[in-house]
Amino acid sequence: MKHDVKTVKGFLDYIYDLYKEMKNYEINIIYEGKITHQITKAFTALTEFNLEKQEESDKVKRRVFHVMVESLQNISKHASPSGEIREKEKGRGIFVVTRGNEFYTIITGNLTSNESTKELTDILEKVNSLNKEELKELYKKQIKNGSKLSDRGGAGLGFIDIARKTGNPINYNIIPMKDNINSFFILGVKINIQ
């Protein structure tokens, strides 16, 4: 239903629809804004509390926690668009947690420059093509490359860790922006409740 959100009445009606949609899609958390360390800590603490209340297994609790931290840190690292919007949108994004009957889904979305989408796609395609053992080997290789003492950067450690911890492929989508220099990058990770 479309509302005239310029009027107070229309906006309040719209919020009710938003509330119903969140219930409908089983959204537990939704946030849009700057992802800081304090925000990461607040969301992980809140989610830990909810996981406890839902009486999830220790394994599910740990994995949801892991994926949340790495996903949020991906926004602070990769939300780096070019051009006019850079200052406003740097380190910002949308963050969503849903719980269905079979799995939790953790979704992040952020603006990023078209130069970095190629690198992100390459890493994600590689991670999604590997089996458990291969992911483990890649993790060991990247952690060595990323260590401070060797200082060669370890690209994609967060993605590798997410894939290993969930055992599921990482879903993603890249939506080009009209400015032709940026894209909206969406990452969706499922964690089985079993």
φ/ψ of 105, rounded to 5, equals -125, 130
Is residue 59 a contact residue for other proteins (CB under 8 A)? yes
Among 29, 46, 69, 177, binds other proteins (CB under 8 A): 69
Which CB sits closer to other proteins, 40 or 98? 40
Q: How far is the CB of 45 from other proteins (least distance, A)?
A: 7
Distance, CA of 82 to chain centre: 20
Residue 127 exposed, middle or buried by CB count within 10 Å (0-12, 13-18, 19+)? buried
The whole-angstrom separation of Cα 108 and Cα 110 is 7
Largest CA distance in the chain: 60
Among the listed residues 12, 15, 18, 45, the single contact to other proteins using CB under 8 A: 45
Nearest 5 degrees, angle CA 110-CA 114-CA 120? 70
For residues 42 and 28, is the Cβ–Cβ distance under 8 A?
no
Binding track, positions 71-110, relative to other proteins; x by CB under 8 A: --x-------------------------------------
- Number of residues binding to other proteins, judged by CB under 8 A: 27
The answer to whether 95 and 71 are in contact (CB under 8 A) is yes
Residues 153-182 as x/- pattern, contact with other proteins by CB under 8 A: -x--xx--x---x-----------------
Contact residues for other proteins (CB under 8 A)?
A: 37, 40-41, 45, 58-59, 62-63, 65-66, 69-70, 73, 136, 139-140, 143-144, 146-149, 154, 157-158, 161, 165
